[in-house]
Each structure stands twice: as structure tokens, then as C-alpha cells.
Amino acid sequence: MKATNYALLLIKSFEQLRLNSYLCPAGVWTIGYGHTAGVHQGMQITEKKADELLQQDIRNAEHCINQMGADLTQEQFDALISFVFNIGARGFNVSTIRKKILKGPNDPSIADEFRRWIYAGNQKLPGLIKRREQEIKLYYS
């Protein structure tokens, strides 16, 4: 499956475009629309490069979700694109949410698993709470 434009817009609605590297609340160097791979202090990029990195990160999330082999709806897939984009493939691959999806992607308790991922740097972040609720809404639509 491929992410739709809706997944892209969902990610962009929660990831502020930043052309200069910064430390995110979890203490990770970040740039563009939440890109972290290879980012270091003092890095600068263009908006075009930020869009390229975003597309690369979405492709990585697509690969991670497709590799799971679950029978997902497009809405479930798009919600998971935003989720995996945010928490990373490594975190997703060892998560309970992934295990529950593999057992049955329509399990209502999956919503509770989304809601567990609202912390950064040991702090509950209002933006992550809002993001997870949007992902849940899309996942079950």
C-alpha cells in the first residue's frame, strides 16, 4: 500500500516546518518536518529538501507497515503512516500496537495502544495527545 495525500497532510499538520536543526522535546536533533536521521546541530536545509526528506520518511514508514503483512484499510494504513513517522520503525516493530494489529486490525483496544504513545522526554505532550486522537479517528473511520 501507499500513503495517500491525507496521511501527508496529517503529518504536516503536526510537524512544524523548520529549516534549521533543533532539539525536539525528546532531545533528538530534528529538521524539516520532523526528520531525524543524520541531523546535527547547526544544520540548515531548504523547503524543497524538507519535502524530499518528508517523502523519504513516508516511504520508510510505508515499508515498515507493508512488511507487517496485515490486511489494513487505506484509513488504517494512513493513520499508521503518521504514527510510525512519529515514533519510528524501531519503536513500532516492538510495540504492542503492532502485535494487536497482527492479531486483528479492527480490535477496539488498538485505540488504547495509540494513547500510550503521548510522551517525549518523560513528559505528556498536549500535541501528541491531539495527534494520537486524530490518528485513532482516522484508523477507525
State the amino acid at position 120 in one-letter form: A
Q: How far apart are CA 79 and CA 27, in angstroms?
A: 25
Q: How far apart are CA 16 and CA 107, in angstroms?
A: 32
Q: Is 24 a catalytic residue?
A: yes
Q: How far apart are CA 5 and CA 96, in angstroms?
A: 27
Contact call for residues 28 and 43 (beta carbons, < 8 A): no
HSE-CB at 5 with a 13 A cutoff on CA atoms is 0
For residue 74, what are the CA distances in angstroms to 40, 52, 141? 35, 23, 10
Q: Which of 24, 52, 75, 133 is catalytic?
A: 24
Q: Is 15 a catalytic residue?
A: yes
Active site residues: 15, 24
